[in-house]
Structure 1
Amino acid sequence: MNPDFRGLIREGDLVVCGQATAEPLTLTEALMAQAGELPAFRMMVGPIFSDTFSAARAPNVSFQSYGVIGNARRLARAGRLDVIPSNYSAFCTDFASRRHKADVVLVQLAESGDGRLSASLSNDYVIDAARGARLVIAEINPDAPFTFGTEWPDDIPIHMRVAARRAPVELASPPLDDISRRIAAHAASLIPDGSTLQFGVGRIPDAILSSLSHVRDLGTHSGLINDAVVDLIERGAVTNAKKGIDAGITVTNQVIGTGRLYGFVHENKAVSVRPTSYTHGQGVLARINRLVAINSALQVGLDGSVNSETLNGIAIGAIGGQLDFVRGANASAGGRAVIALPATASDGTSRIVARVETVTTPRADVDAIVTEWGIAELRGCGLAARARRMIAIAAPEHRDALSAQLRDAAS
């Protein structure tokens, strides 16, 4: 039976729910169905891969997030989403420190045969949010995998339990295209045997991972893992043998994929779903051997500055863990920080620009930029050399205009 949120939600409450594939669908769908009958409240969401909030018409509900990812873009386009510009690690820390204080927490849990509970698909900010919340409602989902590292702490009470009526959210890998494969071919040349990988969601990371079956003794220490990681493990490419820490263990903060992935991680001691303080912690990342951070962007400037957040003043992306991992990879022995993106946007405009409108990763932290036209090695380069190298990996039809803008800026 669905919970009746009337009498549970109070005026001005901050309601926090699991993000991405950890969204407790039975609870969030019931909450949104009843929203119009409830006092005004705020809803904190992360990446959204369900349709739960798309039809959230109740004007008494306001939404907040650390970025605009997945179906959160629908809320952003409707003017319903307030973005907190924060590194993912800092956003999670703010719940632990009570800078963000949740009143009500909705969480999806898995239960083992002996009654132990696991946060299953994510070990993000929800546990810290629950520790200080007035009300914690847990959706016990028999289809959610029991994962190690996410065991529910004994000191956090669960005030209400609900049986899940929906399987966990799944996110299938998008089909690869020619551009993503060309980008992957260039990026793969930066990933030697023994590298440890971090990557995000999307066509380009998937294309890069799919191109690495020939590489040996790869490791994984990432903000997320997906179905492509299962492929690499089963093909023997990922062994986690040479990471320097967590030998033999795939380490992640979130599990985002399909039932195949969920079955793979279920009660699998070779996978550890760790808290953000560990997966994104600079001291931890610096100890990893050859950490290769693979992230994407909306724009990159001729000076190397990276914009992953806004276009034309509108938030359509996120800071996320990009800067956490760029700096971690730069501190790792033999590490590389790779920003991979198509050279042109879907409307034909250049994604290599004279100057970005928002700086997500500063030019001082940038290492290598990859498009389908090649690699711009920027670490240690002066501004003039950076501009030349960036123009060389822009789409050919935009190179003259970029060169002209560079000359105009210098005159």
Structure 2
Amino acid sequence: MSKLQALYDSKRMTASDAAGQVRDGDTVVVPTGVGEPPALLHALSARRHALRDVAVSQILPLRKFAYLDPETRANVRHDAYFFGGANRAGGQAGWVDYVPAYFSELPMLIERGLSPADVVVSLASPMDEHGYFSLSLAPDYTMAAIRRARVVLLEVNPNVPFANGDCLVHISRVAGLVESDDELFEVGLPEIGPVQQAIGKYVAELIDDGSTLQIGYGGIPDAVVVQLQHKRELGIHTEMLGDGILSLIESGAVTNRKKTFMPGRTIATFALGSRRLYRTMHRNPGIEMHPVEFTNDPYLAARNDKLCAINATMQIDLIGQCGSESLGHLPYSGTGGQADFVRAANRSKDGKAFIVLPSTAKKGTVSRIAPVLSPGTHVTTSKNDINYVVTEYGVAQLRGKTAKQRAEALIGIAHPDFRGELRDAARKMNLL
């Protein structure tokens, strides 16, 4: 038996024993999405009544573990970096708290001790011959948390790909190993309707061959992806690697040859897709997973010429402020990396930052283009950063435009049923 294997065996334990290393007052950091370790989080949930003042911090939890319980919040609570289906109701009811932050800056907050990280739990690939595990599904802020944490616990699963990039952890840094072989959480492409298709067509027409893409999560960004398969020599530098990007790689539209920063490689910080995606990532020299302070740093991402950032919002006002993360004061998602990549695309030579949204909500009864944002709305992308805004009715290019020009352009891509009242409101605001 090799020394590495003996070390591995000495650190192998049950999920219950691993969760026993969490102490009162600890903050447990969990990777984004699919990187969350189910066996470890179920074990932590089962132990929660014996704990006090433990926080779990994560972006986009995918499963509603038992610790997500308002009745035991004093034992184990959830402090969100970003809301999803599993924790949104708790955030809106007030028993789940959140940390406002740019995705790119979460590692810095952790490293400076501004955001605690006492214990890290993560899914990981099997160990390689050199003693390394790959945290391929989400190195994001997790790598920074590992450098800071007292305890690192890995759930080793053979279905986790061993990916290249700055996502490797040596066994000497690990306090406990739990083995599982459950299938990974899968997320398919969302349903794309005629509104999404129309928006996607407008955006696709503005993306040149040889561009490098960042594609956000959601139906509209994926509708753009579907209409890019005829493009040539595209590159990828993004935060999320999903099945939409995989389809561009498989179609030959993405080659990464024209990238001016890290050519030849698809760069991302977390994966969220199908089993096919995860298998494609395994030992693939054309895909690298890196921490989010690298992928989302506006300066580094902007080293890609023709960087096109495609992200969705829920509401925009007549001077271009985007509310992409809340419904009024109620949290819905989070800041994430939208502002990171809007700024990166603005810095990029010949870059383009797209904010996409349907023109209406609530079955056509509410305009998403509003005179002012709804009271309490969290501003995600500022009026100073906004560039292209796209609805199913067209494209408004706002960067460099006056407030009056912006109002005119945005009204022009609003739903026709609301243009009259938007004009009336704009006149009262001295914007027309």
Shorter chain as denominator, the TM-score bin is: over 0.9
1:379 shift after superposition: 1.4
Q: Which runs of 5+ in 1 are unaligned?
A: none
Partner of 1:29: 42
Partner of 1:124: 140
Residue of 297, 301, 304 corresponding to 1:285: 301
Matched, 1:369 2:386: no
Partner of 1:98: 113
1:192 shift after superposition: 0.8
Moved more, 350-359 or 248-257: 350-359
Partner of 2:82: 67
Partner of 2:99: 84
| CA–CA distance in structure 1, aligned partners of residues 325 and 88 of structure 2 | 12
- 1:172-205 deviation digits (Å, cap 9, x = unpaired): 1112111111110111111111110001111111
Q: Which runs of 5+ in 2 are unaligned?
A: 1-13
1:300 maps to amino acid: I
Q: Which runs of 4+ in 1 moved over 6 A?
A: none
| CA–CA distance in structure 2, aligned partners of residues 62 and 55 of structure 1 | 7
1:68 shift after superposition: 1.8
| CA–CA distance in structure 2, aligned partners of residues 151 and 362 of structure 1 | 32
- 1:273-295 deviation digits (Å, cap 9, x = unpaired): 01222211222122111000001
Checking the alignment, whether the CA contact within 8 Å between 1:329 and 1:336 is kept in structure 2 is yes
Checking the alignment, whether the CA contact within 8 Å between 2:68 and 2:77 is kept in structure 1 is no
Q: Secondary structure at the match of 1:370?
A: strand
**Matched positions, count:** 411
Matched, 1:109 2:109: no
| CA–CA distance in structure 2, aligned partners of residues 403 and 220 of structure 1 | 40
| CA–CA distance in structure 1, aligned partners of residues 159 and 393 of structure 2 | 43
1:341 shift after superposition: 0.8
1:59 maps to amino acid: R
| CA–CA distance in structure 2, aligned partners of residues 230 and 26 of structure 1 | 28
Checking the alignment, whether the CA contact within 8 Å between 1:48 and 1:69 is kept in structure 2 is yes
1:305 shift after superposition: 1.1
Matched, 1:395 2:410: no
Moved more, 345-354 or 366-375: 345-354
Checking the alignment, whether the CA contact within 8 Å between 1:106 and 1:138 is kept in structure 2 is yes
Partner of 1:353: 370
| CA–CA distance in structure 2, aligned partners of residues 363 and 180 of structure 1 | 24
2:371 maps to amino acid: A
Q: Secondary structure at the match of 1:333?
A: coil
| CA–CA distance in structure 2, aligned partners of residues 54 and 261 of structure 1 | 30
- What's the % identity of the aligned pairs? 35
**Cα 1:346–1:150 shift into 2, 3 Å:** farther
1:6 shift after superposition: 6.8
1:73 maps to amino acid: R
Checking the alignment, whether the CA contact within 8 Å between 1:138 and 1:161 is kept in structure 2 is yes
2:29 maps to amino acid: V
| CA–CA distance in structure 1, aligned partners of residues 279 and 195 of structure 2 | 31
Checking the alignment, whether the CA contact within 8 Å between 1:54 and 1:75 is kept in structure 2 is no
- What is the 5 A alignment of 1:176-195? 176-195=192-211
Checking the alignment, whether the CA contact within 8 Å between 2:321 and 2:381 is kept in structure 1 is yes
- What is the 5 A alignment of 1:111-190? 111-114=126-129, 115-154=131-170, 157-190=173-206
Q: Secondary structure at the match of 1:363?
A: coil
Matched, 1:234 2:264: no
Instruction: Provide TM-score, normalisation by structure 2.
Output: 0.91
**Cα 1:182–1:362 shift into 2, 3 Å:** same
Moved more, 214-223 or 315-324: 315-324
**Cα 1:306–1:195 shift into 2, 3 Å:** same
